[in-house]
Chain A
Amino acid sequence: MSRPASGGNPYLNLGVLALVVAALCLLPMMTTPYYIRVATGIALWAGIALSWNVICGYAGYISFGHVAFFGIGAYTTAILMQPNRGWNFWATLPVAAVIAGAVAALVGWPALRLKGAYFAIATWALAEAVREFTTVVDFTGGSGGLKTPIRLDDNFFFYTMLGAAAIAYAMCYLLLERSRFGFQVKAVRDNESAARAQGINTTLVKIEAFVLSAMIPAVLGGINAYWITFINPASVLNTIITDQLVVMVLVGGLGHAWGPALGATAMFLLQEQLRVSYGETTAYIIVVGLLVMAIVLFLPDGLVSLGQRARRMRLVRQLLGRVRDDVAPRRTENQTEEAIQ
């Protein structure tokens, strides 16, 4: 019988966490700039994968448009740091988060009334709309993109990215695993009708979860824009980003607190290794395809479920089933009659 994680020995958990944090903080003193950049990339992907896990793994809504929020954050920072505006980098990050959160609330209000495949299509349309918008307007630099001030300091970006990702994880852990809000979100995911019957305002809870999941990639997108010094629609609003983070969450463990971090680390290192070994990423795409099939079939709770105490939720199959139900033919009158008995 499936049993959830009990959390084990809290002192042991804290000790392990302290060791990991200490090792990460000391990393720049122990390794080369190349590995610092790899670690920065892992922190970036772990953070945005977490954001997708919030809306899909916890709230049960498949978003194919999360790259929009990453792009909004990147463009907000880049636009505000242009020489004619001259904003301080740190000041741009909360602005990016607020704008992404506002867009999520605005879009989420109608879109979160949709279910399954329909919500996924709506969010995909949002990402396309944001990409088209940044391509045609002047203040984003159009398809030519924008440059950000150059800062040649790998350690700064490593610590900034790591800090942002760590804050995001701590915030999500407290909000989704240890608070009343987390139970509300998970109730909506598991059974929305039953959640309403418990007095939960499901519309509001879904919007709050969507806003939270939008603010995280916006902040990371802003840091990324400063780090890579040049952004355009093809680099920060590319749908491949959403595809990547979906795969990372599935590989790590959908709906599990630490699944995205595990998946992002595994997939980023795999991609990097294939790039270094073979000099191209075609092999990576093939590996990703095979991995997704294997995960759905044999390890629906991802790498996290390799642990003996991990909770076996099988959300992947549940969500896929829900999508199939949503596009199924309407019931006949006879079936409706049976349903109301």
Chain B
Amino acid sequence: MTVLAVDDLHRSFGGIRAVDGVTFGVEQAEIVGIIGPNGSGKSTLFNLLTGALKPDGGSISLFGQNVTRLAPYKIARTGLSRTFQIPALFVNMTVRENLWTAAVQFDWDNARANADAVLERLELTHVADDLASTLSGGQQRLLEMGRVLMQKPKVALLDEVAAGVHPRLRQIMLDAIRTLRDAGTTFLIIEHDMELAQDICDRIIVMDAGKIVAQGSFEEISHDPHVMEAYLGVSADE
């Protein structure tokens, strides 16, 4: 079952075509990695999918419903959760309150118990009552992941969620992603870490200059000449 369908999506900033005719679909419980060099339009694509930016053209369909011009909060309420490239925490709230806040539109009645479970799972219990602003970079990424876990979303968009996270905690994060996937959650993951992408993604989409230049399994795309040229900076002949 296709849960997310993107058709001929366009978005420009002045003369720059950040997303240029992107088309793809994602099946339920699939983990799709999105890779590409800096400036290839990955984060802009996420902003379009979540409603933070409006596209210049094309359409986005979520669970068969056209959400192309829907407000971000309405898209979130359909069951789409996200993390940000630069962690976007509620800095004047504690870690625990950040998790509670993630549940205000969802399972509020069980927010306290769920937050305690998430804190334990992500090994954040010892900083639960500290302000989010005092967390290290890796802990901030974990807390963003914690907010996703609180919402038990149908679709989760993770933007470099494991960057700067300690290898042991990164494993905990990956386990959490797999558990959610097994429960039916679909993932789109922007990642620069090829090892991680290979480890967890069922399929990889490669973007360059706002376009999709290749997609397929990690093995398939790693030998694709377009990918080698666009992402690794070398031509297939070298």
Contact = CB atoms under 8 A, between A and B. Distances in A.
B76 A194 contact: no
Size bracket, chain B contacts: 35 or more
Interface in B73-101: 73, 76-77, 81-82, 84, 88-94, 97, 100-101
Interface string A109-140: 00000000000000000000000000000000
Contacts of B133: 2
Contacts of B106: 199
A191 B13 CA distance: 23
Contacts of A3: 129-131
Interface in B95-127: 97, 100-102, 104-106, 108
A173 to B, nearest CB: 16
B183 to A, nearest CB: 19
Given A193-B88, A200-B104, 4 more contacts: A183-B101, A197-B81, A311-B92, A315-B92
A196 B76 contact: yes
Contacts of B38: 341
Size bracket, chain A contacts: 35 or more
Interface string A183-210: 1101101110111111111100000000
A187 to B, nearest CB: 5
A88 interface: no
A38 interface: no
A180 interface: yes
Contacts of B131: 2-4, 311-313
B16 A191 contact: no
B129 A191 contact: no
Contact of B14 (A312, A313, A315, A336): A336
A337 B84 CA distance: 17
Nearest to A331: B13
B82 to A, nearest CB: 5
Contacts of A180: 104, 108
A200 B105 contact: yes
